[in-house]
A and B are shown apart, each in its own frame.
Chain A
Amino acid sequence: MDSETTKAPEQPAGDADSPWRRVQLARHPGRPHSLDYIERLVKEFQELHGDRFFGDDPAIVGGFGLLEGRPVMVVAQQKGRSTKQKLHRNFGMPKPEGYRKALRLMKLAEKFSRPVIALLDTPGAYPGIDAEERGQAEAIAVNLREMTRLKVPLVSVVIGEGGSGGALALGVGNRVLMLENAIYSVISPESCAAIIYRDAGLAEKAASALRLTAADLLHLQLVDEIVPEPAGGAQNDYDQAAALLRDALVRSLDSFAAASPADLVEQRYDKFRRMGSYFTDS
């Protein structure tokens, strides 16, 4: 387990509601990571490893357990906290085998009619030679398509950084939640600033332009619900953060209790089909 005691974390400076402050909170070194939530929410969690093709990717953790007595499959992106853990988890940047493991476990849950909870927390899919060689794009693409036809409820939660396609690869849920201080974006503010202002130092400005906060995503109708965090951010109280997430997850899962497999696929399709913002010019 990656949870370990941390020093009392300092609060990032800046306006409490500024997008840049949310970015800093979402990446806060003391912020609870997936395993911190799993430890608190999922009783008798049993981790399952491997994609059955190539290997096991520590940047994605998966397994089964009980959420308030309900059997659930969990797939989650995991960052490290200490330097050693960070390296082990590849800074939360999954490789193709991680995405394929996640899909394998989602399919396993589907086979036995168990709901799936996906926790999203990654700077992005790993941009490396080996990842490209093994088909990073293909792995993400296949996950997107297969999630859209999953016959069990899938609830995706952005708990920290929702880094572009690498996060979305676990994010095609029947319900998509976002923690209050989480971010979800097509590109990191630093990369965006490097492109549009030719200066990665202007990330703060880019963070505002990208509309990446939970409130923005809710406003754009791309997520369904914002999960509140303890005062000052989830890093201040893991137990309370977990309890707040538990309530939202239980409510979400219960809302699909009566849905048939066909309903679930239909509802998920309709939800994503509506996303977009265009008009017709005659």
Chain B
Amino acid sequence: MAWFTRDKPSVSTQRGGRTVKTEGLWEKCPGCSQILWRKTLEENGEVCPKCGYHFKIDAFARLKLLLDGEWVEHDKGLRSTDPLEFFDAQPYKQRLANMESRTKLPDAAVSVTGTLNRRKVNVCALELKFIGGSMGCVVGEKITRAIERSLAEKTPLVIVSASGGARMQEGAVSLMQMAKITAGLMRLDEAGIPFVSVLTDPTTGGVTASFAMLGDLNIAEPGALIGFAGPRVIEQTIRQKLPEGFQRSEFLLEHGFLDAVVKRSELKSFISRALDFFAGPVT
């Protein structure tokens, strides 16, 4: 029982009217817990101006960051046939359709040809929001075709990874994409065409254990989770907490598996200089 009852039901306090809509205007930095103005964050390339924490960005934002402007997208029409007729909470085909309407992408990879500081390059970027950036046959085929394009045109290749690994819903077909892509990379290697692998947060499983670790240069953004097994799987196996910074970019650099940890703001110029070194300056 309430202590007071309102004897005039018509009197109402309009609580809703006094609030100011702030949702989406501010963002809390997971790195330093600072509250950041969305716009400042955007202007800073989705990197925290206070602590340098690199927020995750989507595939097209990535392309904008690396390329000069215009690009041509390839293999937009590729779709999975759902070889396993996989069904979990919903049929896999339905999941793909839902993902497509949410991300406006048909699968987890975008493959383009553009210019990076005036040099023609093929770039594949994985989209983490599409089933965790996972690699099924569409991702495998798109990347393999990008490799073949690079081979045919003698154009350098850049792959930006952001992925949990091979896609469970396509089973062993996903697994074999690891072999298919690395077979392509073998040819690229023999032909002496540069391949720069950019590892971003997170890159794990079958993606790390195939193309992401096979760049002529393997470079990563600061603080990215990079590994074969995911941290939770390792914790369950060894039954102890993992040390701070384990499987982060800096850890991999220290253990000799990355050529460099490169800030997002310097990524383009880094790749540009590397390609100048490998292939000579752009004429």
Could you tell me which A residues sit within 8 Å of B by CB distance? 125, 127-129, 131-138, 140-142, 144-146, 148-149, 164-165, 168-169, 171-172, 184-187, 191-192, 195-197, 209-212, 216-217, 220, 222, 268-269, 272-273, 275-282
Identify 18 new A-B residue pairs, CB closer than 8 A, beyond the known A127-B228, A137-B257, A148-B186: A129-B242, A136-B209, A136-B228, A137-B226, A138-B209, A140-B209, A142-B214, A146-B186, A149-B186, A165-B175, A172-B182, A209-B87, A209-B88, A212-B172, A220-B172, A272-B183, A279-B79, A281-B77
Say if the beta carbon of B282 comes within 8 Å of chain A.
no
A168 pairs with B237, CB closer than 8 A? no
Could you tell me which B residues sit within 8 Å of A by CB distance? 77-84, 86-89, 106, 137-138, 140-141, 144, 166-168, 170-180, 182-187, 189-190, 205-206, 208-214, 226-229, 233-234, 237-238, 242-243, 246-247, 255-257
- CA separation between A144 and B181, bound complex, in Å? 9
Chain A residues with CB under 8 A of B183: 145, 148, 172, 268-269, 272-273
Give min CB distance, B269 to chain A, whole Å: 26
B180 pairs with A275, CB closer than 8 A? yes
Chain B residues with CB under 8 A of A127: 228-229, 233-234, 237
Chain A residues with CB under 8 A of B184: 273
Give min CB distance, B242 to chain A, whole Å: 7
The A/B interface has a contact count, at CB < 8 Å, of: 193
Q: Closest 8 interchain pairs by CB?
A: A127-B229, A196-B88, A276-B137, A137-B208, A277-B83, A137-B228, A136-B228, A140-B209
Determine the main DSSP class of B at the interface with A.
helix
What are 19 A-B interface contacts by the 8 Å CB criterion? A127-B237, A129-B242, A132-B228, A137-B226, A138-B209, A141-B210, A142-B213, A145-B214, A148-B182, A148-B186, A165-B228, A184-B175, A195-B168, A210-B84, A212-B171, A269-B183, A275-B176, A275-B180, A279-B79
Chain A residues with CB under 8 A of B87: 209
- CA separation between A196 and B144, bound complex, in Å? 29
Chain B residues with CB under 8 A of A138: 209, 213, 257
Chain B residues with CB under 8 A of A145: 182-183, 185-186, 189, 214
Give min CB distance, B216 to chain A, whole Å: 12
- CA separation between A149 and B190, bound complex, in Å? 10
Chain A residues with CB under 8 A of B168: 186-187, 192, 195-196, 210
Chain A residues with CB under 8 A of B228: 125, 127, 131-132, 136-137, 140, 165
- CA separation between A195 and B164, bound complex, in Å? 13
Closest to B206 in A: A165
Chain A residues with CB under 8 A of B226: 137
Chain A residues with CB under 8 A of B81: 277-279
Please judge, given known A-B contacts A165-B206, A276-B141, whether A211 and B180 are in contact too, CB under 8 Å: no
Give which listed residue, B84, B167, B178, B214, contacts A168 with CB less than 8 A.
Answer: B178
Chain B residues with CB under 8 A of A137: 208-209, 212-213, 226-228, 257
Give min CB distance, B103 to chain A, whole Å: 16
A276 pairs with B172, CB closer than 8 A? no
Please judge, given known A-B contacts A132-B228, A148-B182, whether A222 and B246 are in contact too, CB under 8 Å: no
Closest to A132 in B: B227
